[in-house]
A = this chain, B = another copy of it.
Amino acid sequence: MTGERIFLDHASGGPLLPVARIAMEKVLSGHGAAPGGGHREARESREILEKSRKQVADFLGTDDPERIVFTSGGAEAVQSAIRGWGEAAGKGTIYVSEMEHPAVESAVRRLEKTGFSVVRIPVDGEGRLRWKKVKSAGPGLVCVHLAHHDLGTVQDFQQAAAFAKEAKAGLFVDATFGAGWVELPEGLEGVDLLAVSGHRLGGPKGSGILWIRSGFPWKAQAEGGRQENDQRAGTENLPAMAGLGAALEEWKKKAEKIRESAREVQQALWDGIRKKVAMAKLHGAGLGPERSPAHLGISFAGLEAESLALVLDRVGLAVRGGSGCVTREMKIPPAMKAIGAKPEEARSLILFSLGPDRQAVPVSLAADRVAEAVQRLTSKLPS
């Protein structure tokens, strides 16, 4: 099979939005002064920093920009959110599903070891958290993702917030997968902690956002200097801040167009694949408002995800085989187990993910390549 490469692994990492790249390059070629000093160059850097913070605040819809912390990425934002709350609260109950991203899961387990109790939120067959099945076990922290990194399912934020309120618990929203693609609650109403990944929004690698509601118990995890309003020590990564700010400004302006464009590709890609490959099965919520428009998680029962992804690569289609984020022990994506997928489905999950660049995706060619790769592998299977 010949022709152009098709890249559909944006969730793992994709190109910068041009506005972000331009903003970064401008700072990278500058004097590089740290924003913390008293001289003219420091003031110039401070202006860039504050502009970026304002762009982030506008994107988030918060009027509390001082509680925006620029982090080194989504993983740090998530870990800092949960562990920072744990350190400040000292005790409590954590409400969380068994299919969270490892960054969430490891922070929860770390707190569990120090005496926090953990209540697991069950999920339905499409990955929706079943709030009505959770019993309150007292105050603490509810951890919920905005959209699921393997399933694409969007969570019902209103239910999550209502549960947290009822339990007198705080609410942490892991929006590292989903921000931009899915609307954030207006004004961050009901949210106490929020984590965003920069690169999933066409922003820089090594950039992320942690937001903490004023007054919510939380302690800084990176200690040392006084940067970021004493919320994260370390010389500010100004190029990344500028790039992330620019990317989020673009999203603020064009989110609906970006989503609409992705929705069209998503629908056409899924239609093409299911037409050409009988065994293809979509996991998570169906296409529509309950699913991130940037994501398809499709199983090909009987095949191994990694082998299939390798053959797809050879025929010119770059995708992710297996969960986007698994640790060594997890041979099967925890989300597939949680939703009750069959083992042969769980082992054959392929993730197709789109970026915010609104480039034309040759959908029919992509579906042909999936069919071709499946054909190659199934013809080798013992009959």
Please give the residue numbers on chain A whose beta carbons come within 8 Å of chain B beta carbons, in ascending order. Answer: 5, 7, 9, 12-16, 21, 24-25, 28-34, 36-42, 45, 71-76, 78-79, 101-104, 106-107, 110, 197, 199, 204-206, 222-226, 230, 233-240, 306, 309-310, 312-313, 318-321, 325-328
Instruction: Please indicate the chain B residues that have their CB under 8 angstroms from the CB of A38 in the complex.
Output: 306, 309-310, 313, 320-321
* Other 16 A-B pairs with CB < 8 A, given A101-B224, A206-B206: A7-B41, A9-B34, A13-B32, A13-B37, A16-B28, A32-B199, A38-B320, A73-B234, A74-B234, A75-B233, A76-B234, A79-B222, A103-B225, A103-B234, A204-B239, A225-B325
CB distance from A11 to the nearest CB of B (A): 9
Q: Is the CB of B12 within 8 A of A235?
A: yes
- Of B106, B226, B309, which one neighbours A39 at CB under 8 angstroms? B309
- Of B13, B33, B106, B312, which one neighbours A223 at CB under 8 angstroms? B106
Q: Is the CB of A12 within 8 A of B28?
A: no
- A110–B36 Cα gap in the complex (Å)? 25
A15-B32, A25-B25, A224-B79 given; A41·B318 CB < 8 A: yes
- Of B14, B28, B101, B199, which one neighbours A21 at CB under 8 angstroms? B28
Q: Is the CB of A234 within 8 A of B40?
A: no
- A328–B72 Cα gap in the complex (Å)? 24
Q: Is the CB of B37 within 8 A of A9?
A: yes
Instruction: Please indicate the chain B residues that have their CB under 8 angstroms from the CB of A32 in the complex.
Output: 13-16, 199, 205
Instruction: Please indicate the chain B residues that have their CB under 8 angstroms from the CB of A42 in the complex.
Output: 9, 12, 318
Q: How many copies does the complex hold?
A: 2
Q: Is the CB of B235 within 8 A of A199?
A: yes
Instruction: Please indicate the chain B residues that have their CB under 8 angstroms from the CB of A206 in the complex.
Output: 72, 206, 237, 239-240
Q: Is the CB of B28 within 8 A of A72?
A: no
Instruction: Please indicate the chain B residues that have their CB under 8 angstroms from the CB of A234 in the complex.
Output: 72-76, 103
- Of B31, B110, B235, which one neighbours A205 at CB under 8 angstroms? B235
Q: Is the CB of A34 within 8 A of B12?
A: yes
Q: Is the CB of B106 within 8 A of A74?
A: no
Smallest Cβ-Cβ distance to A232: which chain B residue:
B75
Instruction: Please indicate the chain B residues that have their CB under 8 angstroms from the CB of A328 in the complex.
Output: 226, 230
CB distance from A185 to the nearest CB of B (A): 25
Q: Is the CB of A107 within 8 A of B223?
A: yes
- A224–B83 Cα gap in the complex (Å)? 13
CB distance from A220 to the nearest CB of B (A): 9
Instruction: Please indicate the chain B residues that have their CB under 8 angstroms from the CB of A320 in the complex.
Output: 37-38
CB distance from A338 to the nearest CB of B (A): 18
A-B contact pairs, 13 of them (CB 8 A): A9-B37, A9-B41, A13-B235, A14-B33, A25-B25, A39-B312, A39-B318, A75-B234, A75-B235, A102-B223, A106-B223, A206-B239, A230-B328
